Amino acid sequence: MSRRFSRAVGAVIYYTFGTHLPPSWSGVRLGQTAIRRLCARLMLARCGKKVNLEKGAVFSRKATLGDRSGIGINAKIYGECHIGDDVMMGTDVTVITRNHRIDRTDIPMMDQGFEEEKPVYIGNDVWIGDRVVILPGVHIGDGSVLAAGAVVSRDIPDYSIAAGVPAKVIRSRLQDSTDGFYHDPTSEPQK
């Protein structure tokens, strides 16, 4: 089966049937997780093992999804987005990879077209809360947490907790709770 044909089959199954099945956590068991997982394997540029697509999720075929990662309920992933392993995603998450051009004032913005696409990269072991918006070109570091409602317009370092509009790092997950100081696990211990 050609790649183009398999993507078309996956899209037909997913958008006519799979996306309307109950969420994976519901008490109703209709094989929704297996059906959506099959569609993901057919549709995505790369799809890991034990992935989970939720009800109502919309995603680009240029997206990649790592092992044991999920795309949340009603999530919208536009364009090229690379999601690592073990990523949890809340409801209504939006990932945008390009914006409208606005550089000219002599013609309406709607007639200016789009900027060049800027892929989004989401590292491994990331937790993305409900209604987070990730803007074009952003890199989310491994082990990071994005608080619900955050608008992420800049890169987030590894093991950071980010919140707000625009999102700012509010804490490192590498802080030792006993002394309140940051301890980089990649550095040598102090003597």
Active site residues: 100
Residue 124 in contact with residue 140, Cβ under 8 Å? Answer: no
Task: Tell how far CA 81 is from the center of its chain.
Answer: 7
Token pair belonging to 7: 């993507």
Q: Going by C-beta distance under 8 Å and a sequence separation of 6 or more, which residues neighbour residue 29?
A: none
Q: What are phi and psi of 99, to 5 degrees?
A: -120, 165
Residue written as token pair 């072991």: 125
